[in-house]
Amino acid sequence: MRTTLTSLSSRFLLAGALVSIVSCGSMVGPSSQNSPPSEQTLSSGEATVQLARVGFRATALAALRQPLTSARQGLAVFWHRPREIVAGNLPLELIPEEPTPFAPGTPEFERLLDEKGFPKTHYGRLKWLMDGPGFFKELDRQIAGAQQSIHAQFYIFDNDEIAVRYADKLKARSHEVNVKILYDDFGTLTSHLSSPRTPSTDGFAPPADMHHYLKDGSDVEVRLCLNPWLVADHTKLVIIDSRTAILGGMNIGREYYSEWHDLMVRVEGPVVGKLAEEFSRSWRQNGRFGDFAMLAPARHYTPPPRAEGDIPLRILKTESGHTRHEILDASLLAIRGAKKRIYIENPYFASDEIVSALRFALRRGVDVRVILAAEGDSAIMDAGNISTARTLIQEGAKLYRYPKMAHLKVMVCDDWATMGSANLDFLSMRINRELNIAFSDKAEVEKLVGLVFRPDFAKSKRMKLEDTESAIAPLAEVLADQL
């Protein structure tokens, strides 16, 4: 973000002092994205044992099973973290903009994405699932109606009452259909160390080990996404019978069920075949043979037939071990080509590259509006959001605070939109594994604007420059860049 040359050197010194802590991924890393700081649900002894197990799996077991992935991710971490400190603290004027020649949402823009090597589009149709009632009602329907398989991947499979309820549903169906559950090892454990903000029923005792609970008395297959270098798999994806997919920002737990504002989307049509392949790839890589399982031919899924209402959808990913930063790169192209509007709703906004591109868009006269959460779940990221908000308000952007935790990850640039699991922070843009979809269908983009942005602008309070005054914001911004 913008800074004077005088303050630049001091920030470099501060960042240098911090890099030894954050370059290996602090304990604040993945967990800060999803777990509210509240009372602990595991005893100190249970927590110590679980942390030791996760530490062993993230180091020794990951090195044994995933030597190539671990090496690649290590190189990515040690390249991108120092790079972010340097690039994120250069004056904006020293970073030239690369304008996009075509407006996002146009056929020319989609052809540009094809020419630059982004994943090809596949047809599908969307149904938006707003908040806990929208997602979990649909999940209930899909679990009950599955005929062959339920394959689900989450960053967090919590151990609260809601998570236990859905574990029990999956366990019951596992005797009839193939059920595979994949979740992030570190993300899930850290969520187990805290309670939801709303109390559980008297007498409820959370399982100490959700892996064991899911498998106990069932035919559920469970695998953990390992965390070499504390790189997380932040993906949320459910595949039913290889014909229906659900993806977005929500995990399994009470926060998502009833406490937070969030968004998922149901996807049907040919694109589900590609999403099923994404799950299959993650499942194989996180099995007993790890990277070595990837030497076998990948399974290809027969895509569901195209139907009326299908639109072109593009699957975008972040995967540092394979140098895939498609979510960031596509977002930057869209921002740099926007002519009319850029609407963003995201809980963690600390990407200097996105902020820099937005500043140039504001100077071109683009209407830039950003919704942040008034009450986040990470003090560091909240303070980082304040720093981002101050920078953008000074350039003329409209910043809003949603009245509670808003966990949506949505961006609209003219007539192009993207949504999914990715936050607008360094981890989601450069390090963690993330999954988004993007599309340029004007009618579907307007439907998304009407569902998300118009009501949320109305519910949110417009921020003023004085709302962004904070003594710790500059320090928090440096930390947030790394977290």
354-381 pLDDT, tens digit per residue, is 999 999 999 999 999 999 999 888 778 8
User: Model confidence at 34, in pLDDT bands (50, 70, 90)?
Assistant: very low
Please tell me the predicted confidence (pLDDT) of residue 193: 83
Query: Helix axis angle, 67-87 relative to 473-482, nearest 10°?
Result: 150
Please tell me the predicted confidence (pLDDT) of residue 250: 98
pLDDT digits (tens, 9 = 90+) for 276-285: 999 999 999 9
Token look-up 């999803």 returns: 34
Whether 334 shows a pLDDT value over 70: the answer reads yes
What's the CA gap between 392 and 399, in Å, rounded? 8
Q: Amino acid identity of 55?
A: G
Task: Please spell the DSSP secondary structure of 72-122, one letter per residue.
Answer: HHHHHHHHHHHHHHHHTTS-GGGS-----SS-TTSHHHHHHHHHTTPPPEE
Least confident of 47-56, 146-155, 305-314, 356-365: 47-56
Please answer whether residues 77 and 227 qualify as being in contact, where contact means their C-beta atoms are separated by less than 8 angstroms.
no
Residues 202-232: b if buried by 16+ CB within 10 A, e if exposed = eeeebbbbbbebbbeebebbbbbbbbbbbbb
Please tell me the predicted confidence (pLDDT) of residue 41: 63
pLDDT digits (tens, 9 = 90+) for 237-259: 999 999 999 999 999 999 999 99
Please answer whether residues 348 and 424 qualify as being in contact, where contact means their C-beta atoms are separated by less than 8 angstroms.
yes
Q: Is 422 helix (H, G, I), strand (E, B) or coil?
A: coil
Highest mean pLDDT among 37-46, 289-298, 374-383: 289-298
pLDDT digits (tens, 9 = 90+) for 223-238: 999 999 999 999 999 9
Q: Is 414 helix (H, G, I), strand (E, B) or coil?
A: coil
Average pLDDT, the chain: 88
Please tell me the predicted confidence (pLDDT) of residue 11: 35
User: What percentage of the chain has pLDDT greater than the value 70?
Assistant: 87
Give the residue from 175, 181, 295, 312 showing the smallest Cα distance to 236: 181
What's the CA gap between 245 and 380, in Å, rounded? 33
Can you give the pTM of this predicted structure?
0.89
Of the chain, the end-to-end C-alpha distance in Å amounts to 16
The dihedral region occupied by 131, where left means phi > 0, alpha psi between -120 and 50, and beta the remainder, is left
How buried is residue 71: exposed, middle or buried, by Cβ count under 10 Å (0-12/13-18/19+)? middle
Please answer whether residues 25 and 77 qualify as being in contact, where contact means their C-beta atoms are separated by less than 8 angstroms.
yes
pLDDT digits (tens, 9 = 90+) for 67-78: 999 999 999 999
Whether 12 shows a pLDDT value over 50: the answer reads no
Least confident of 118-132, 421-435, 462-476: 462-476
Please answer whether residues 262 and 254 qualify as being in contact, where contact means their C-beta atoms are separated by less than 8 angstroms.
no
Task: Please spell the DSSP secondary structure of 155-177, one letter per residue.
Answer: S-B--SHHHHHHHHHHHHHTTTS
Interval 45-53 mean pLDDT: 86
Please tell me the predicted confidence (pLDDT) of residue 68: 95
Q: What angle do CA 33, 322, 295 make, to 5 degrees?
A: 120
Please tell me the predicted confidence (pLDDT) of residue 95: 64
Whether 3 shows a pLDDT value over 80: the answer reads no
* Integer angstrom CA distances of residue 364 from 91, 97, 398, 413, 418: 19, 12, 15, 14, 22
Q: Is 370 helix (H, G, I), strand (E, B) or coil?
A: strand
Whether 90 shows a pLDDT value over 70: the answer reads no
Please tell me the predicted confidence (pLDDT) of residue 478: 59
Interval 186-191 mean pLDDT: 92
Contacts 24+ apart (CB under 8 A), 274-280: 274/122, 274/303, 274/315, 275/237, 275/239, 275/245, 275/247, 275/315, 276/151, 276/239, 276/242, 276/245, 276/301, 277/301, 278/237, 278/315, 278/317, 278/435, 279/151, 279/153, 279/182, 279/237, 279/239
pLDDT digits (tens, 9 = 90+) for 419-464: 999 999 999 999 999 999 999 999 999 999 999 999 999 999 999 9
Please tell me the predicted confidence (pLDDT) of residue 33: 42
User: What is the token pair recorded at 167?
Assistant: 């574990």
Backbone angles phi and psi of 230, in degrees to 5: 55, 30
Domains (range + CATH), the chain? 5-41+84-119+313-482 (3.30.870.10), 124-309 (3.30.870.10)
What's the CA gap between 93 and 83, in Å, rounded? 18
